[in-house]
Copies of this chain bind each other. A is one copy, B any other.
Amino acid sequence: MGQQSGKRLSRKERERREHRRLILEAAEELFARKGFHATSVQEIADEAEFSVGSLYNLFESKERLYHELIEMRADQYLRKLDQRLDEADGPVDKVRAAVRCKLDFFEEHRQFFHIFGNFVSGAESASPPMLSKRCLEIHGRIHRQLESVFEAGIREGIFADIDPVLAVLVLEGTTNAIIGEWIHTGARALESINPGTVEQILFHGLLDGTANE
C-alpha cells in the first residue's frame, strides 16, 4: 500500500498537500491583513474551512505555519529571479530584469508584501517570531545573486565603482519603497508606476544629466 516510488504521489499525499496549500493561502490573507499575533489559529481554520484539529494535523504549530508560508514565497521568488536573470543579457539588462521581477512578483502576491515587510527593516528579533534559518539563507542568496551582477557590471566598466553590497541595498530599498507606496495607495496595478522611471533613477540618478552641480 501507499508510498509510490519516484515522482507519482499517492492520492492521499496529493490531498494532504492540497489541504496544506489551502491553509497556507488562508493564513497569508489573514497574516497580511492583521499580522501574526492578531490572527488566531481558529480564524485561519475557519477561513480555510477546516477545523482547528485538522490544521494541527497538517502543521506543527502556528509559528511553523507562518515560517512555511514565508519560505514558500521566498523560494518561489528566488526561482523566478534566477530564471529572469538567466534570460537577461549583460549587467544593465539583468538589473532591469531584477526590478521587473520584483515588481511582477509583488503585483501577483500583493498581500505577501505586508508579511515580507517585517523583515525588510532588519527586524530579525521582532515579534513575528524571527525568520527561520531557511529564510535567511534564501535572503542571502538573493543578495549574492544581485551582488554578482553588479560586480560583473563594475568589472566591465559599465557601472560606477561602488561597493556592490551598497548597490544591492539601493536597488532593494528603492523597489521596496515603491512597492510599499504603490500598495499603500491602493493603485490597481503597477502600470501606475513606470518601471522605466525606476530604472532611469537607479541608473542615472536624480540630477539632470544635462545641467551640472
A residues in contact (CB < 8 Å) with B: 33-38, 92, 95, 113-114, 116-118, 120-128, 150, 153, 157-163, 165-167, 169-170, 172-178, 180-181, 183-184, 193, 197-198, 200-209, 211, 213
Shortest A110–chain B CB gap in Å is: 10
Q: Are A206 and B202 in contact (CB under 8 A)?
A: yes
Q: Are A38 and B202 in contact (CB under 8 A)?
A: no
Q: Are B206 and A167 in contact (CB under 8 A)?
A: yes
Partner of A178, one of B92, B162, B166, B193: B166
Copy number in the complex reads: 2
In angstroms, Cα B205 to Cα A95, docked, is 13
Interface of A is mostly: helix
In angstroms, Cα B167 to Cα A204, docked, is 13
* B residues in contact with A172, CB < 8 Å: 177
Q: Are B122 and A116 in contact (CB under 8 A)?
A: no
In angstroms, Cα B95 to Cα A203, docked, is 18
Partner of A197, one of B166, B176, B200: B166
Partner of A170, one of B158, B177, B208, B209: B177
Shortest A176–chain B CB gap in Å is: 6
